[in-house]
Amino acid sequence: MHPILRTILQRLGLGIVTLFVVSVIIFSSIQFLPGDFAQAILGQAALEETVAAFRKELGLDLPAWQRYLQWIGGVVQGDFGTSFSGRDASGVDRSRAVVDLIAPRLENTLFLALMAAIISVPIALILGVTAALYRNSIYDRTVNSLTLISISMPEFFVAYILILFFASLNKVFPTLANISPDVELGERIYRTALPAMTLTLVIVAHMMRMTRAAIINLLASPYIEMAELKGVSRATIILRHALPNAWAPIVNVIAFNLAYLVVGVVVVEVVFVYPGVGQLMVDAVTTRDMPVVQGCALIFAATYILLNLSADIVSIISNPRLLHPR
């Protein structure tokens, strides 16, 4: 087998194992809930039979591994169970399927993340590469200090400053990102502008610093020095010697930051009351709606793992040393 194929298969296997273990952790979280939560959710006034029926629905009469199999079997088929909210003591069940809650919001979150990514990736790469090339110049120092400041700021601080200037003092953009499925694309982008800008500001700083470090690291390698010493022009050094080796770190940086976006959206969505998965999860945590929490956590974790996995695989494929084995 080609060594590259073997490494990729190994990584894929490792990714699947990680996903499995993570799903077990997320599933077992419900085991640690204190006391009888069936009773707690339905309230003190609930009849014995209602509580018993609810327990049976949750499968609390089954051993944990059977429940895990049922749960993960459902998840694979797109069934995350039913939400805890909407149930009451009388046994009337107005609860909704978790997947109905998550699906429309997932689309919104992906839209926001995609928009932030499209704006931030090119800016960050250009800033990072130029800062690395003109290392120690005034330009490099300024960009470096600015990004250090921007990294240190909590997302909500950036968000509120943007709101203050672009929504409150000058009414350029709306404060609340009120998105519904029937909103047209242009209007949607307009309403999502502020959250996307917040995410961009936070992420560009991270990405730029990592790109800069990766490129500087690369430029310090012996073969670049060799090329310099034998008098190759600067453009050729960068295009022929540096760039082929730079793809892997750059892709890694991008994937790492897209994964970071996954977490960043939570706070930003809450600030702008953006109807996404992050906000759903925060609401579910406040009301201890475990099936929703589990569903959201699983989606976030899976996205994170898959992004890191694809970064790994791209960096393996783009590594010239692995592509042409001796």
Partner 1 sequence: MSNSKPGYTATSEVSRVRAKRTLWENIIRGLRSAPPTALFGMLVITAYVVIALFAPLIAPYGESEVFPIPYAPWSDEFLFGTDQLGRDVFTRLVYGARNTIGIAIMTTILAFTIGGGLGLVAAINQKWLDQFLSRFVDVLMAIPSLIFALMLLSIFGSSILNIILIIAVLDSTRVFRLTRAVALNVVVMDYVEAARLRGEKLGWIIRREILPNIMPTLVAEFGLRFSFVFLTIAALSFLGLGIQPPTADWGSMVRENAGLIQFAEYDITAALTPLLPAGAIALLTVAVNFVVDWFLHKTSGLRDE
Interacting residues toward partner 1 by CB under 8 A: 18, 21-22, 25-26, 29-30, 32-33, 135-136, 145, 148-149, 151-157, 160-161, 163-164, 168-169, 175, 213, 216, 259, 262-263, 266-267, 270-271, 281-282, 284-286, 288, 290, 293-294, 296-297, 300-301, 304-305, 308
Residue 183 three-state SS: coil
In this structure, how many other beta carbons lie within 10 angstroms of the beta carbon of residue 226? 12
What single letter denotes the amino acid at residue 158?
V
The residue (of 91 and 256) whose beta carbon lies closer to partner 1 is: 256
The least CB distance from residue 290 to partner 1, in Å, is 7
Q: Which are the contacts of 111, defined by CB distance < 8 A and separation ≥ 6? A: 179, 188, 192
- DSSP one-letter string for 245-285: HHHHHHHHHHHHHHHHHHHHHHHHHHHTT--SHHHHHHHHH
Distance, CA of 269 to CA of 288 (rounded, Å): 19
- Which is nearer to partner 1, 87 or 209 (by Cβ)? 209
| CA distance linking residue 154 with residue 181, whole number of Å | 30
Interior angle at CA 299, CA 293 and CA 302, nearest 5? 130
Q: Which is nearer to partner 1, 8 or 153 (CB)?
A: 153
Q: How far apart (Å, rounded) are the C-alpha atoms in residues 23 and 297?
A: 9
Smallest gap from residue 207 Cβ to partner 1 (A): 17
Give me the least distance between CB of 182 and partner 1, in Å please. Answer: 26
Q: Least CB distance from residue 49 to partner 1, whole Å?
A: 28
CB of 159 to partner 1, least distance (A): 9
Closer by beta carbon to partner 1, 140 or else 188: 140
Q: C-beta of 34: minimal distance to partner 1 in Å?
A: 8
In the bound state with partner 1, the residue whose beta carbon lies nearer, of 247 and 304, is: 304
- Helices (H), ranges, 46-97: 48-58, 64-76
CB nearer partner 1, residue 30 or residue 53 = 30
